[in-house]
Chains A and B, each alone.
Chain A
Amino acid sequence: MFPAHFDYVRPATVEEAVKLLAKHGDDAKLLTGGHSLIPAMKLRLARPQVVVDIGRIANLSYIRETGGAIAIGAMTTHADIEASKTLRDKSPLLAETASHIGDAQVRNKGTIGGSLVHADPAADYPASILALDAEIDVVGPRGKRTIKAVDFFVDLLQSAVAADEIVTEIRVPATAKTVAYVKTEQKASGFALAGAAVVIGPGGVRVGITGVAATAYRAAGVEKALAGQTSLTPDLIARASAQAAAGVDALGDIHASPEFRAHLAQVNTRRAIEKALTRA
């Protein structure tokens, strides 16, 4: 399986990369870890004429504390996020989520920026990014802007990042330890049939769901049912979790029917809330 021919360019800076994207327009594609793009190019689902490799822009791979937030460079690999002590101590949900992605080799190459922009409906990070209310910085010919997690996932395989823009940083708040990500995976690839990410904080419970619909979403029904509740009893958790796929157009394919995905969303939401509470 050979991808179609392409020209390869390796800019040294984000500014150079932005210029290259502006110059080549729709003919160009960014490459970081390559673990979504290269499989697509082999199948010739993607045939860029110019591949702009930004995977080596060194100063875009970092995890550091800034005020009450943790800033993560877009080119940080899943393996580095999984292993990060800063994240494990200050905001453990993303590290836990990363440990569920694919396998060790995939985690060594894939990056958080690439995963978010690819916006695979079965990717793991989107659930956690939503539950964490993360912010995503992008840079393009019109300068820099910040996208909120709730506005980021637009449609199937479509994020709010324009073709001429580059994700540079993801910021997540420092949280309590009461977080959890629970997923049912498709056995061959590891992708989520349904994954639920939960953050339980002073402001209430936030729930992000991936794998179920064309895009990951916040489970508004669950969050509402738990709002203002001081004691999260098993009964209340079960009733709230039943809303995990309410009003959602669930996907069906050879791996799982829409009904099964919706059911898994409910079960995994309940399990994630219960698991988060055990970490209090």
Chain B
Amino acid sequence: MMYCLKCQDWISQPVTWSTLFLPNEQTQLCDSCQSQLKRIAGTICERCGRQMPNETMCEDCNKWQSNKKYRDTLLFNRSLFQYTPFMQEVITQWKYRGDYQLKDIFSPYIKKEIRNFYPTKSFTIVPIPLTNERLHDRAFNQAIAIAEIIAHHHKNPVIHALSRNVSHSEKQSKKSRQQRITTKNPFFLTKSLETDVLLVDDIYTTGMTIHHAAKLLQEAGCAHIYSFTLVR
């Protein structure tokens, strides 16, 4: 007998693998929660990995590509899950309530998919940092948790090359879209790095966070910068 990681219902029967894109490991979810995890599948925006009705570049990426400073800074992003209300709940429970263990839900998917996403195997993993204050509140950084899962399964090194300024700690969601675009880069480099890089975070919303981080690494001399988020 075991509990569903998300809803803590008993999982009484062996989990059945009815959905198409499931990897062959235990995600430790009950059938009901499992069926609500929605993978990104079919046609996607080739830059940010968002699920699209047809093969076009999404609006966010059009904006980044038409920006002289940020164009081609990030080669592309790939994500595993769609941002459904269920995924929103999972992320809330994991990140904001601080239920660290929920990382195990994602682990088998990360193990299976990372290799298919990127043209190179020799990248350094750089997690997006939190401010010290927020790190203290949460007691863990969700991006580091994801980075460590990738490192564990694929043996890439994790380098904490970035830090985050305190003054930019206010919640992004409180700002308008325009404000977010013009926000100053909140990150600074703490280590020199010139390898290919995989930036890692939990959610890709407008791409702002990832692009800011990518810009710094590009200027530092990293040639190819990719990113991975759980959710797009």
Q: Do A and B come from one complex?
A: no
